[in-house]
Amino acid sequence: MPATVILGAQWGDEGKGKLVDRLAEQATWVARFQGGNNAGHTVVLGDQVLKFHLLPSGITRKECHLVLGDGMVIDPWVLDKELSDWKESTGEDPRGDRLYVSERAHIILPYHRYMDGLDTKIGTTGRGIGPTYADKVNRVGLRFGDVAEVLGDEAWTKASVDRMNASLEAAGSSERVSTDGLASDIAWIHENYAMCIGNTGLMLDNALKLGEHVILEGAQGTLLDIDQGTFPFVTSSITSRGNATHGAGIHPGHVQDVIGITKAYITRVGHGAMPTEVEDEAGVHMGTVGKEFGTTTGRKRRCGWFDAVVMRQAQRINGFTGLALTKLDVLGGLEELKICVAYELDGKEITELPSTASALARCKPVYISMPGFPELPLSEWLAMAVHANESGKGISVLPAAAQQYVAKLEALVGVPCTSIGVGPDRDATIDCV
């Protein structure tokens, strides 16, 4: 069975966790392939709300193997906290049993968090992600597979501390790293993760050869891609399809389906232009009804109308085979729905995303309008989704105006919707195919 890639199609926070959780029921493996604990996935199981930053969303499926892949940067202390919380909740410690950490994944150390804390321009999460990727590119980073090699190596420890402290001083930080502290950290990482560090790319390749289903789970969103996103207000990794297999350690021929996740509107956290951002009554409605606060940082998300220009960029880069539309229910109660179909830039209409941040900041949205649909309680949306799936009626159960809205989005992006989310619950999703 081929692999399925799940990607964010906007600026992140689209609802990847919920979709992966649903699809993991039919999967044997779920693998993260990039990013770190700057990501946040929320899965709602009835009254239980589970929030993950590193653990793949498939952890809720006990038969599912989990991989933190080659392309990730991992804070071992954050991961330990998530694992402790999971064990307290379920009694399970999956390390070495069904959770595996790539020997090629890079480690976020306290030094990286110190460096990241100095950012005042990009609006990062301050979790050490960018500095860890910088060390990776500079070929001085520490990988999980290297831990056993440098354990007790005083020369390596001293050289690393000298380099880190010189960088901290040059950057204007008052923080410093000690040799005893770094040596202790390395020993702790070895003690806590030696049992689950391995060649995860080989594991995934073997699983696929045996016909098992693998989900490759992305973090952040396409518009935060370091190469293809709204640079410099982006993350420090490649978030798009091209890195899904590379960051997992397998070849791209394994992939058949690429699902792009998009909200029925759009949100963004952090700095950078967002042409369709609105702070009027509609924007307040989206933020309030959609509970738009970041899973990782708790920061309020900026809300705006659906942006087809952004989605065309995401589709060109990723080649989605289907769209998973989320939070359609949030738009219920708005009399008029707007969709951005182009931008006006310096007096000219453009239909593709400009490459510079300054040009994007000057873009004004060109909208079309559609009629809204009624606001419904979450229990009614959930019942509607359950009925749609049990009866096979799919999208036809939605209010007529909601059906028209979905059809317009599909036409503008050129990709069919495979599912439509109408609430936070795992079962509040309408399957369209």
C-alpha to C-alpha distance for 35 and 284, rounded to whole angstroms: 30
Q: Specify whether 85 is catalytic.
A: no
Which residue is catalytic, options 13, 116, 329, 425? 13
Do the Cβ atoms of 107 and 36 come closer than 8 Å? no
Active site residue 205: no
Selected catalytic residue, list 21, 41, 246, 285: 41
H or E stretch including 302? strand 302-304
CB 168 within 8 A of CB 109: no
Polymer length of the chain: 433
Tokens (6 digits) for 290:
């959609």
DSSP code of 252? G
Using N-to-C axis directions, what is the helix angle for 179-193 and 76-90, rounded to 10°? 40
In sequence order, the 6+-apart residues with CB closer than 8 A to the CB of 31 are: 56, 66, 67, 68, 69, 200, 204, 214, 215, 216, 217, 248
Tracing tokens 């070895």 back to the chain, one arrives at 190
Instruction: Report CA Rg, the chain.
Output: 22
Cα separation, 35 vs 13, in Å, equals 14
Known catalytic residues? 13, 41
